[in-house]
Amino acid sequence: MNWIEKPYAERKQDVERALDRLEQESPDRFWLSSDQDGENTQEMNIILTAGDTSLYVISLMTVQLKAVREAAYALGQIPGDQVALTDALLNKAAVSTQERFHVDLESDYGVRLDIVVDTPGLTHDFVDKLLGDFIDNGEKPLQTQIVEGKTIRARLIRARNEKIHSYYTLR
């Protein structure tokens, strides 16, 4: 049974458990993640509650990480490989792409959101604003925009030059 199909009482209990965990682990936030946010962070998994029976399990990543993964797989790399930000990969990754906000109601625990965003890194302030805007928008997907390839390329060149490519993982 999908989480969204569960009876109200069960969904409410799941939300209450998530809120208890949030209060214990991150009392200064309205969302929960075991991943560290930061200016170089490219991906996070987040739990968000809203209202009595709204529980979201969020996969959040940057457009440049999405582009790197797609390019790396097209070049024959496989999950678990270390990404090498080569010129060939940069050229393949530096294409225009769209932000994404996908809702999946088939999840077993909460409503799954897959979100791809245009930002250099997933900082605490950015995540707060994004999730706050989502709640303020009535928990409806936010409008997405196209991200130019030159923006993605510049971020990847910075990552290569500053040797922070370890944030670009293949999964």
Total-model pTM: 0.92
Cα angle, residue 46 at apex, residues 54 and 127 outer, rounded to 5°? 100
Q: What percent of the chain clears pLDDT 70, i.e. is strictly above it?
A: 100
For the chain, which residues make up each domain, given as ranges?
Answer: 3-167
Give exposure, 128-167, as e/b (b: 16+ Cβ within 10 Å). Answer: eebbeebbeeeeeeeebeebeeebbbebbeebbeeeebeb
pLDDT of 57 > 90? The answer is yes
- % helix, strand, coil for the chain, step of 5: 40, 20, 40
Closest-CA residue to 90 (of 154, 161, 168, 170): 154
pLDDT of residue 96: 81
CB 144 within 8 A of CB 101: yes
Joined together, the tokens standing for residue 165 give 């490519």
Joined together, the tokens standing for residue 84 give 């090498």
CA distance 128 to 134: 10
- Give the model confidence (pLDDT) of 101-130 as tens digits: 999 998 889 999 999 999 999 999 999 999
Q: When comparing pLDDT for 151 and 165, which is higher?
A: 151
Q: Is the dihedral of CA 106, 108, 110, 116 positive or negative?
A: negative
pLDDT of residue 53: 82
pLDDT of residue 33: 94
Going by pLDDT thresholds of 50, 70 and 90, the confidence category of residue 52 is: confident
pLDDT of 51 > 90? The answer is no
